[in-house]
Structure 1
Amino acid sequence: MSNHRFKSTQKRSAESEPLINKITQYVAVIGVGSPTTNYSLLVDTGSSNTFVGSSKAYVKTPTSVDLNSTFAIKYSVSNATGELYKDSVTIASLVIPAQIIGVANATISELSGLDGILGVGPSDLTQGTSPYAKTIPSVLENLFSQKLIPSNVFALSFRPSTGEEEMNGEITLGGIDSSKFTGAISYVPLSKTLPSTLYWGVDASAHYGPGKTPIFNSTAGIVDSGTTMIELGTYAYKTYQMVTGAVPDVKTGLLALNAAQFSALQSLYFNIGGKAYEVTANAQIFPRKFNSLIDGDVNKIYLIVGDLKSAPSSGMDFILGQTFLERYYSVYDTSNARIGLATTEYTLATSN
């Protein structure tokens, strides 16, 4: 991490930072303080607060300012709480001199081994997380407002896992990396349906196989890099389970297939903005060589489509998580209130 700082009246060009693929999470190494201490943070488009201290303790430096306030964030399965600070934050070669961050004293179990979360969702998601302010400017918001990046855009490049701790991802700040996708980026406006509109939400429908068996009709959901799987509302999930013939696995909680069922598995399609985004049979299964990481049987085939446990028309009827994003390049454009998706060389890959 660089400690070099510039004063400039010109916005910089887009910058990219490599991300580490931990199989079920993508992680950015972020510097905090001066001199910097590096922290491994989950890259999460489904939240907007950034906090450290979950594993490695927060190191105070001359740039640390205690705001004498607290934060509390509720995630889908648990919470994170702690104290609020301002400090220098470094990502790629970009330095935000006074970013508000949380320093956790209690965190969610899913962060085992990680130091916290880099929240890159819309800043309105920070509302109500601290008495210090109505909302807290996110890292991306500060990068843009301080003219450190040319546009209020970021993009994610993920790809299927081939090895643990593989540095095969990338976040691009202020633009896109055209070397990471094929064809054109297709943009769609953000959903206007609550609560999806508070997130990186899109409207979509889904069908299964060449016969186009409906999984769910047009409804709202979100794109969330902090969720490992593709998750469907309960009704759609049960429909998917029925058409695939999968059975729940008690040990992992995932759906499982036998070899014959996997051979017959068809593609799942998400229809977004008039385009069908294919999730192939291979892309629907957890990478088998890593089954032991989820306490699974090495000889079983597990699906990466899960139950969101939401009722139909709840306003968040699906989540396109990491496993979807490993097949498509994604662009998050705050200024134009839109999301872009593009195919990559891994969209149809058979790596699992």
Structure 2
Amino acid sequence: MDEATATHGRTMDDSIQHARPWNPAASVKKVNTITNSTNIVARDLARLNNYFKKSAISERQSAPVINEVFSYIAETTVGTQTFDLIVDTGSSNTWVGADTKFVAGSTAKSTGDFVSVSYGSGEFSGTEYTDTVSVDGTGVTGQSIGVAKSSSGFSDVDGIIGFGPEDLTEYTVSGVSEVPTFLQNLVSQGVISENILGVSFAPLTGSDDEDTNGELTFGGVDDTKFTGDITYTTRTGDYWGVSVTKFEFGSTSLGTTTASGIVDTGTTLLYIPTATYDKFLTASKGKPDSSSGLVKFTTKPTADFTFVVGGTTYTLTPADYLVPTAQYANWGISGSGFYSIINDGGSEAPNTILGQTFLENFYAVFDTTNNRVGLAVAA
């Protein structure tokens, strides 16, 4: 959050790895180990690198989520305990025990199976249990959860609740090929009728370092969170993948080659292909800043940054792609200048990650039922 896929596990914050390829509702909370922009870039890139590794209620249910600068964390009840879990559409396992230790209650049952997931910037391993799991009162019974015996990269956060495709759980648990996700169980147990997740994020205001300004909607979308129509595109690859084309900065083309993209709540920044990024630096007169890990501008840019997904153009104004000056302390940025959330995603696919800071301007729909991803302008 900011900011995980499984390599038979995956990393937190911006890049998680799954047994397959891949490069980070209820209240959502920030991961306190990520204290500045340099940390966030390192975490995002570690997660990005993980992408390359393989190994009868019919109405929707909604819950608030908390933005804590770099991540969203859902307060999730497992049995009788409450855990702060990263909301991650880049991985699919749900696990606990990184910070707050899991205590098995009367509803918990150990399967005895080994579970392990690597996220690039972190990992965990332990034992699979089944237990009741709920987010802001919306819950299921018999949910597969990993209980960590060891973990790394997850300080001051308890684990992850995964909202990625079920494929990402493949081979993460011994003895089974895949395990049902939380959303799948909501459908199978009749809590919601469709396997759809609507995600509404929003930027922090002023110098706030936490705000309950987001929402997860299970089983549908919240029409009040976006304007106009939702544009859907068929999901590609193992993640919530989309094809991205026609990057532009103002009137300057940054290339027309189709990029392999992922829409990921677990990644903090917006990442674009290296070739596009290099052209962006030239067009914007920005320079990589080693102290922050971000692109720095001496003069505030005035041009919009745009790209196309599914035939629809998405526009980020300078106010959208620059870190607000009031947030510099929260990002660990000192001194003058202007800093961008647009960063280098590398040359190897996937190399375009639409992360949290992008999603704070657009409503996202992760529709497993119809195998598609939707985006709309945030209200």
TM-score (norm 1): 0.87
Residue 25 of structure 1: aligned partner: 71
Which residue, out of 299, 315, 326, partners 1:289?
A: 326
User: Contact between 1:256 and 1:301, CA under 8 Å: does it hold in 2?
Assistant: yes
The answer as to whether partners of 1:120 and 1:139 remain within 8 angstroms in 2 is yes
Amino acid of the structure 1 residue aligned with 2:177? K
> Given the alignment of the two structures, is residue 58 of structure 1 paired with residue 107 of structure 2, yes or no?
no
Structural mapping, 1:1-352, within 5 Å: 10-33=56-79, 36-109=80-153, 111-162=154-205, 163-191=208-236, 197-258=237-298, 260=299, 262=300, 264-297=301-334, 299-311=336-348, 314=349, 316-345=350-379
- Please name the residue that 2:39 is paired with: none
Matched residue of 1:147: which SS? coil
Per-residue CA deviations over 1:10-65 (Å, capped at 9, x if unaligned) read: 333111010010111111111000xx211111111100011111111112211111
Fraction of identical pairs, as percent:
35
Checking the alignment, whether the CA contact within 8 Å between 1:49 and 1:119 is kept in structure 2 is yes
Q: Is the 8 A contact 2:254 2:280 kept in 1?
A: no
Shift of 1:95: 2.3
For residues 246-296 of structure 1, give each alpha carbon's deviation from its aligned partner in whole angstroms, at most 9, with x where no partner exists. 2222222111111x2x2x342111201111000111111123222233322
Q: How far apart, CA to CA, are the structure 2 residues paired with 1:288 and 1:84?
A: 44
Secondary structure at the aligned position of 1:84 is classed as strand
Total equivalences in the alignment:
324
| AA of the residue aligned to 2:119 | Y
Q: Secondary structure at the match of 1:238?
A: helix
Once the two structures are TM-superposed, the CA of residue 167 in structure 1 deviates from its matched residue by 0.2
Residue 147 of structure 1, CA deviation: 1.3
Please give the per-residue CA displacement for 1:72-124, whole angstroms capped at 9, x wherever unaligned.
21213332222211111012322211101111233342x33211111000010
Q: Secondary structure at the match of 2:254?
A: strand
Structure 1 residue runs without a partner (length 5+)? 3-9, 192-196, 346-352
Paired residue secondary structure (1:107): strand
- CA-to-aligned-CA distance 1:310-343 (integer Å, 9 cap, x gap): 33xx3x1200000110000011111111111111
**CA–CA distance in structure 2, aligned partners of residues 115 and 183 of structure 1:** 37
Q: Equivalents in 2 of 1:209, 1:237: separation in Å?
A: 11
Q: Which amino acid in the other structure matches residue 182 of structure 2?
A: V
Structure 2: unaligned runs, 5 residues or longer: 1-24, 27-55
Closer, same or farther: CA 95–243 of 1 in aligned 2, 3 Å: same
Aligned equivalents of 1:76, 1:241: Cα separation in 2? 27
Amino acid corresponding to residue 39 of structure 1 in structure 2? F
Structure 2 vs 1, CA of residues 240 and 106 (structure 1 numbering), >3 Å: closer, same or farther? farther
Separation (CA, whole Å) in 2 of partners of 1:293 and 1:112: 18
Closer, same or farther: CA 285–143 of 1 in aligned 2, 3 Å = same
What is the letter of the counterpart of residue 87 of structure 1? D
**Which residue number corresponds to residue 349 of structure 1?**
none
Q: C-alpha separation between the residues in 1 aligned to 2:180 and 2:129?
A: 13
Is the 8 Å Cα contact of residues 126 and 148 (structure 2) preserved in structure 1?
yes
Structure 1 equivalent of residue 51 of structure 2? none
- CA offset at residue 298 of structure 1? 5.0
Query: Would the alpha carbon gap of residues 239 and 29 (structure 1) be closer, same or farther in structure 2, given more than 3 Å must change?
Result: same
* Partner Cα distance (2:243, 2:90) in 1: 16
SS at match of 2:175: coil
Q: In structure 1, how many angstroms separate the alpha carbons of the residues matched to 2:180 and 2:373?
A: 20
Do 2:247 and 2:276's aligned partners in 1 also have CA atoms closer than 8 Å? no
Instruction: Give me the TM-score of the superposition, normalised by structure 2.
Output: 0.81
